[in-house]
Amino acid sequence: MSLEKVKELLVDLDIDEIQNAVNNALKSNNAQQILQTLCDGMFEVGRLYEEQEYYLPELMLAGETMEEAMKILRPKLSKSDILPKKGKIIAATVKGDMHDIGKNVFVTMVTAAGYDVIDLGKDIPGNIIAMKAKEENVDIVALSALLSNTVIEIKTVVKELAALGIRDNVKVICGGAPLNQDLASKMGADIACDDAVEGVRLCDKIMAKKAASKVVIKG
């Protein structure tokens, strides 16, 4: 089965056939080629979402379909097959908030985009998020707060990052229905994003700026 068929099934959200397609593709393609094809498929899903041909349910199903494919592909990938990582991200839904749909979609999208993502889950205390961010030396802390009464927990995370001395080393992005840039700034976060697709784009901008700041101009 061709690589194009694998991509087609992912974009078409065919969760029932994706594993068979990956198994068949492995007969004539290496695991890295298939991984790249799946990533391309997720980018296409993102495009369809931006053009309002797909909505949140389709994004969720795309993430589930991608995970089904990776169950077959992951054991076939050697360390040399893994695509170079753009950066490291911790993602979590803040303390008191049990909603994780948006966060899960973001994790799927940003993983497909080439990031090393540590998903802490939902209802995570700020000190745990901060400690893990320091332990893993992450570039970005991505927080989800869907409830208006849990937005304040973003400020808690930011304070904990500062207490550990790493606030200046990480960018804090956040998303959720109550959030806009003004509120995010009041909570001490760097950037608010409207959805998972925008979140990936913002992460790319953050890492591009970070890479540019490391360039040394020799005179």
Question: For the domain that residue 15 is a member of, what is the CATH number?
Answer: 1.10.1240.10
Residue 133 lies in a domain: yes
Domain limits for position 198: 88-212
- pLDDT, tens only, 14-25: 999 999 999 999
Helix axes 126-136, 152-163, angle to 10 degrees: 40
User: What's the distance, Cα to Cα, between the start and end of the chain in Å?
Assistant: 54
Is residue 115 domain-shared with residue 197, that is, in the same domain? yes
Say what the pLDDT of residue 84 is.
Answer: 67
Is residue 70 domain-shared with residue 112, that is, in the same domain? no
Is residue 101 domain-shared with residue 197, that is, in the same domain? yes
Say what the pLDDT of residue 114 is.
Answer: 84
Say what the pLDDT of residue 135 is.
Answer: 97
Nearest to 159 by CA among 132, 129, 138, 137: 129
The mean of the pLDDT values for the chain is 90
Low-confidence ranges of the chain (pLDDT < 50): 218-219
pTM of the model: 0.78
Q: Cβ distance 174 to 145 under 8 Å?
A: yes
Helix axes 31-50, 3-11, angle to 10 degrees: 30
Say what the pLDDT of residue 177 is.
Answer: 84
**Measured between alpha carbons, how far is 105 from 183 in angstroms, rounded to an integer?**
22
Query: Which of residues 44, 76, 108 is at a domain's end?
Result: 76
